[in-house]
Amino acid sequence: MSGSLIFEDSEKLSPRYVPKVLPHREEQLSLLHSLYKSVLENPKEAYMRVCQLVGPVGTGKTCTALRFGETVEEEAERKGFKVKHVYLNCKLEGAKRFILYRSMLNKIAPGTATRSLSPEEMLTRLVQYLEENDEYILITVDEISYFLKSSKEHLIYDLTRINELTLGRPCRVLGVVFIARSLSFHKMLEESERSTLGKIIIDFPRYSGEQIKDILRLRVEEAFKPGRIDDEVLTYVSDVTAMPPINGDLRVGLDLLLYAGILAEREGYDRVLLDHVRRVHGETYPGITSEDILYMDPDERLILWGLVRALRVNKTAYVSLKDIRTEYWVICEEQNVEPVEEIEGYVQDLIYRGIVDMKSLTEFGIMGVSTEDLERFLDMIVEKLKRGVNEFREETESMG
Ligand SMILES: Nc1ncnc2c1ncn2[C@@H]1O[C@H](COP(=O)(O)OP(=O)(O)O)[C@@H](O)[C@H]1O
Ligand SMILES: [Mg+2]
């Protein structure tokens, strides 16, 4: 962000960034540490620990798991053995064992996953690799409900029993951490699977307004130049984030700060005014957050963009698949990408994600948006989609 009047580093507000310090999650982190303490003291003798992180959206489950994984890796290194933390996100990577295990294998042992391996073979290969290289892993499976909603495969059962592949030898998988928004996913499990899951649940309660303010203050210090966000603005953002309809979803609070900053900058201000936040706020809810868009499949992102455009062109709250397809093709042409043949599967996935609302077989809209609200925030979504598309492009380009 060179030359910005407002931002020191706007990446620090991005969902990809995991801050070193996570205020008000000390207790959850310390529970995790005590749960894995003995495992880290003596990994050779340890048995696998399974736990669940459960709490509403935006309560810091993912960032806590990522921070914990990193500390485990560091601690193991200090103790002279190797642990890798593998983070899998069912919403992001797909709800198929084949895809998740391949991704896991690629992260642990790059180059060993081939298309011809079955999911079971991939797990065997994973354990083999760990044995041969004297390594251990900790697995985190995020958004597990999303997997269970769209697949009948027994992911939990598989992962919690990997160690049975090496009966009698040290267990290479030190633990599996499952993350969900509520305990309702238990209902989707068979009895045997529920029992392998165990009963250790770490609760992530909603943040209060005060807690949100503490957290956002630190993020503001990292992301903005000094004095760009005064206390009044910070209090306003924190209150709005804590209250319904946002109900403490920190992702929305961070987005409010980011887009208010962008707006202030665009209008030539050297600090963010309450008015900037108010205007952005009017356009942000119902939230499709930057996180949703950043981690979306690139084709899916363009299809969502097609839907948003079709809504705007038709000035209605619902459009047909045909309308979406038409706009999607135009966008693909503008963006110079090859359109996918079938958009239905992607639209279905957007419905699973709670982003697209299907009123009938021929009526698709954005979840929670009425016709009156439509104009107000379609712009904001387009802004986010553009950022998402551009960031993705930068990533692929830097990969070569
Ligand atoms: N205690 C915290 N300190 C700093 N940032 C936090 C904290 N809790 C959440 N966040 C930030 O808020 C956003 C949402 O958190 P996340 O871990 O993704 O929530 P969840 O997984 O529970 O939906 C992320 O960008 C994360 O970095
Ligand atoms: Mg999460």
Residue 149's pLDDT is 87
| Ligand 1 and 40: CB distance under 6 A | no
Q: How far apart are CA 44 and CA 65, in angstroms?
A: 23
| Ligand 1 and 250: CB distance under 6 A | yes
Range list of β-strands (E), the chain: 49-54, 82-89, 135-142, 173-180, 201-203, 356-360, 363-366
Q: Which residues of the chain have pLDDT under 70?
A: 1-2, 282-287, 369-380, 387-400
| Ligand 1 and 25: CB distance under 6 A | yes
Is-contact 242 208, C-beta < 8 A? Answer: yes
Is-contact 182 54, C-beta < 8 A? Answer: yes
Ligand nearest to the CA of residue 204, numbered in listed order:
1
Identity (one letter) of the amino acid at 48? Answer: M
Residue 207's pLDDT is 96
| Ligand 1 and 15: CB distance under 6 A | yes
Residue 394's pLDDT is 54
Distance (Å) from CA 15 to ligand 1 centroid: 8
pTM to 2 decimals?
0.83
| Ligand 1 and 56: CB distance under 6 A | no
Q: Which atom of ligand 1 is nearest to the CA of 204?
A: 22
Residue 359's pLDDT is 87
Please state whether beta strands 201-203 and 49-54 pair in parallel, antiparallel, or not at all (unpaired): parallel
Residue 388's pLDDT is 63
| Ligand 1 and 22: CB distance under 6 A | yes
Q: How far apart are CA 177 and CA 50, in angstroms?
A: 6
Is-contact 120 68, C-beta < 8 A? Answer: no
Q: Which residue do the tokens 């070569």 mark?
A: 400
Q: Measured in Å, how far apart are the chain's first and last C-alpha atoms?
A: 23
Identity (one letter) of the amino acid at 222? Answer: E
Give residues with Cβ within 8 angstroms of 397, minimum separation 6.
none
Please state whether beta strands 173-180 and 201-203 pair in parallel, antiparallel, or not at all (unpaired): unpaired
How wide is the angle at C-alpha 109 spanned by C-alphas 108 and 111, nearest 5°? 135
Q: What is the 3-state secondary structure (H, E, C) of 228-239?
A: CCCHHHHHHHHH
Domains of the chain: 10-16+207-284 (1.10.8.60), 26-203 (3.40.50.300), 290-398 (1.10.10.10)
Cα radius of gyration (the chain): 22
| Ligand 1 and 353: CB distance under 6 A | no
Q: How far apart are CA 371 and CA 391, in angstroms?
A: 30
Q: How far apart are CA 58 and CA 63, in angstroms?
A: 10
Residue 295's pLDDT is 74
| Ligand 1 and 61: CB distance under 6 A | yes
Residue 56's pLDDT is 95
Distance (Å) from CA 93 to ligand 1 centroid: 19
Ligand nearest to the CA of residue 249, numbered in listed order:
1
Mutate to test the pocket of ligand 1, among 21, 238, 250 (most ligand atoms within 8 A of CB): 250
